[in-house]
């Protein structure tokens, strides 16, 4: 669901298994760092359980607090 925040590696993995069939290819750009944040561009070629094969481009924005991924 767009805008949904999921925390914890196991929760992220489980959420992906609900809708993802298979990943044919993926890539992640070098990070762009600014203060306590970094962003990275991600490309995926996936087949979804419902909806078929799609190519997705996504930008991830991550925040760090005390040296750890925070949000």
DSSP of 22-49, one letter per residue? Answer: EEEEEEEPPPEEETTEEEEEEEEEEEET
Please give the CATH topology (third level) of the domain spanning 9-65.
Nuclear Transport Factor 2; Chain: A, (3.10.450)
Across the range 18-42, mean pLDDT stands at 88
Judge whether residue 20 has pLDDT over 90. Answer: no
| pTM for the whole structure | 0.61
Instruction: Identify the pLDDT of residue 71.
Output: 60
Q: Could you state, in order of their start, the residue ranges of all structural domains in the chain? A: 9-65
Instruction: Identify the pLDDT of residue 41.
Output: 94
Q: How far apart are CA 48 and CA 25, in angstroms?
A: 13
Q: How far is CA 55 from CA 30, 47, 66, in A?
A: 20, 9, 35
Q: How far apart are CA 22 and CA 19, in angstroms?
A: 10
% of the chain surpassing 90 pLDDT: 28
Judge whether residue 34 has pLDDT over 60. Answer: yes
Instruction: Identify the pLDDT of residue 2.
Output: 58
Instruction: Identify the pLDDT of residue 22.
Output: 84
């Amino acid at each position: 669901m767009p805008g949904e925040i999921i925390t914890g590696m196991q929760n992220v993995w489980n959420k992906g298994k609900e809708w993802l069939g298979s990943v044919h290819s993926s890539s992640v750009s070098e990070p762009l760092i600014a203060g306590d944040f970094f962003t990275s561009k991600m490309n995926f070629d996936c087949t979804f359980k419902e909806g078929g094969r799609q190519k997705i481009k996504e930008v991830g924005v991550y925040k760090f607090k005390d040296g750890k991924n925070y949000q």
